[in-house]
Every structure is written in structure tokens, then in C-alpha cells.
């Protein structure tokens, strides 16, 4: 195979990176929009929807971080699973991510449950729950920023 074939492979790889970069930027932007939505919803007393929006924000943010590490994210909504995958590919950040998984296990589990319960179950959420979960989402995003 000649030089043209190699050039085509390089171009394909380069184009693939651009597509992924666009996806990363889209996921990051959407995560920020979900955070703003959560703040608005909480301000209106819609804490169930606000917590759902926080879960969406964190999920999209984590998926953007996986793409930055060259990993196609799985079609899962599990925040802890996404963090575990991220820890396994993040090199020097692995201990910090694993510590976060351990120290914030309750809040992360709560967020995962809220993904379903905030929409379908007769479950009400309050301001304190929102504030605590919002702080954890900020902590994770700051750590992995």
C-alpha cells in the first residue's frame, strides 16, 4: 500500500478526533445547561426536577471526561459506574477518583436513584437534599474539570 493509504489513515484519525472533540464540547455545554436548569428549578421549589437535572449534568460531564481519555462511554446512566471506568483510565487521578467514590458513595447512590424516582415515583425532595447533592456535583466537576 502506497503513501496515499497512510495519508488516508492519518486523515481519518484526525477527523475522528475532531468529531470526538465536538462531542466533548457538546456534552460539556449540555452539562452546564443542566446545572443552570437545576438552579432555576430549585429556585422555583421544584426540587425533584432539580435533582434530576443535577444527575443529568453530572452524567454528561463524566461522559465528556471519558471521551477526553479516548474512551467511548457506555450507554449507562450509572454515575458510579462511569466514575469507576474513568478511574481505571485516568492515570494519576485514579486515587482521587477512587477516594471520591468511597467518600461520596451515599450521595452518588442517591443521585442514581433520583434519576428514576424524581420522575416516576411518589417521592418528594427538599431543599436540603438539593443543596447536598449540588455540592457533590460541583465537587466532582471541580476535581475532574
Q: What is the CATH number of the domain that holds 63?
A: 1.20.120.330
Report how far residue 60's alpha carbon sits from residue 88's, in angstroms, rounded to the nearest whole number: 18
Q: Side-chain half-sphere of 36: how many Cα atoms within 13 Å? A: 6
Cα separation of 113 and 59, whole Å? 13
Strands (E), the chain: none
Closest CA to 96 of 137, 145, 143, 133: 143
Residue 51 forms part of a structural domain: yes
Domain-embedded: residue 1 = no
Give residue 100's domain range. Answer: 23-144
Per-residue pLDDT of the chain (145 residues; tens, 9 = 90+): 444 433 333 333 444 555 588 899 999 999 999 999 999 999 999 999 999 999 999 999 999 999 998 888 878 779 999 999 999 998 889 999 999 999 999 999 999 998 777 667 667 899 999 999 999 999 999 999 8
- The DSSP call for residue 84 is H
Amino acid at each position: 500500500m502506497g503513501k496515499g493509504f497512510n495519508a488516508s489513515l492519518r486523515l481519518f484519525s484526525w477527523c475522528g478526533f475532531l468529531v470526538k472533540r465536538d462531542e466533548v464540547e457538546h456534552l460539556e455545554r449540555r452539562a452546564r445547561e443542566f446545572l443552570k436548569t437545576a438552579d432555576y428549578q430549585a429556585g422555583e421549589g421544584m426540587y425533584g426536577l432539580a435533582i434530576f437535572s443535577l444527575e443529568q449534568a453530572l452524567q454528561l460531564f463524566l461522559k465528556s471526561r471519558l471521551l477526553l481519555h479516548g474512551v467511548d462511554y457506555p450507554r449507562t446512566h450509572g454515575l458510579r459506574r462511569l466514575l469507576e471506568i474513568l478511574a481505571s483510565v485516568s492515570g494519576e487521578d485514579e486515587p482521587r477518583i477512587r477516594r471520591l467514590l468511597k467518600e461520596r458513595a451515599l450521595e452518588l447512590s442517591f443521585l442514581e436513584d433520583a434519576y428514576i424516582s424524581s420522575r416516576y415515583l411518589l417521592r418528594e425532595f427538599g431543599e436540603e437534599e438539593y443543596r447536598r447533592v449540588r455540592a457533590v456535583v460541583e465537587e466532582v466537576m471541580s476535581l475532574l474539570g
